[in-house]
């Protein structure tokens, strides 16, 4: 397997991630680390990881998934609003029921039995 020796900073730049994320990735993937004479740690990164294609510029007239994103998100927001309202109604009903039972429990026994 072909590898390329990169510092953590170079790896983070090439992958477009934060430095801490690059460190975690190296640890997770178990890539070989070598400390150089200059004190910098270099990682043997497989070339196929670095050759992941980046987003290419969009051609004129080409549709992208992001074009339909706003209506989709608005639809989901409306659905979530309806869900929140239904849960609010359910919680209100549960609170009313709880209050009725509490009121009944606080009444003396003879009033509970004979209303």
**Do 46 and 1 meet the contact criterion of CB atoms below 8 Å apart?**
yes
Domain assignment present for residue 46? The answer is yes
**Amino acid 115: pLDDT:** 66
Q: Whole domain around residue 95: which residue ranges?
A: 65-114
Q: How far apart, in whole angstroms, are the C-alpha atoms of residue 51 and residue 36?
A: 25
- State the total domains in the chain: 2
Q: How far apart, in whole angstroms, are the C-alpha atoms of residue 104 and residue 112?
A: 7
Domain assignment present for residue 58? The answer is no
Instruction: In the chain, count H helices and then E strands.
Output: 5, 3
Shared domain check, 108 and 74: yes
10-residue mean pLDDT profile of the chain (115 residues): values are: 88 89 92 91 89 55 66 88 94 96 86 74
Domain assignment present for residue 55? The answer is no
Domain assignment present for residue 12? The answer is yes
Shared domain check, 11 and 46: yes
**Amino acid 73: pLDDT:** 87
């Amino acid at each position: 397997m072909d590898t390329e020796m990169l510092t953590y900073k170079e790896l983070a730049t090439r992958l477009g991630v934060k430095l801490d994320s690059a460190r975690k990735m190296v640890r997770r993937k178990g890539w070989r680390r070598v400390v150089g004479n200059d004190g910098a740690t270099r990682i043997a990164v497989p070339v196929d990881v670095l050759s992941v294609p980046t987003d290419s510029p969009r051609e004129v007239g080409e549709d992208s998934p992001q074009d339909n994103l706003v209506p989709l998100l608005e639809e989901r927001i409306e659905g979530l609003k309806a869900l929140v309202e239904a849960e609010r109604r359910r919680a209100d009903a549960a609170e009313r029921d709880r209050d009725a039972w509490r009121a009944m429990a606080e009444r003396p026994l003879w009033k509970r039995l004979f209303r």
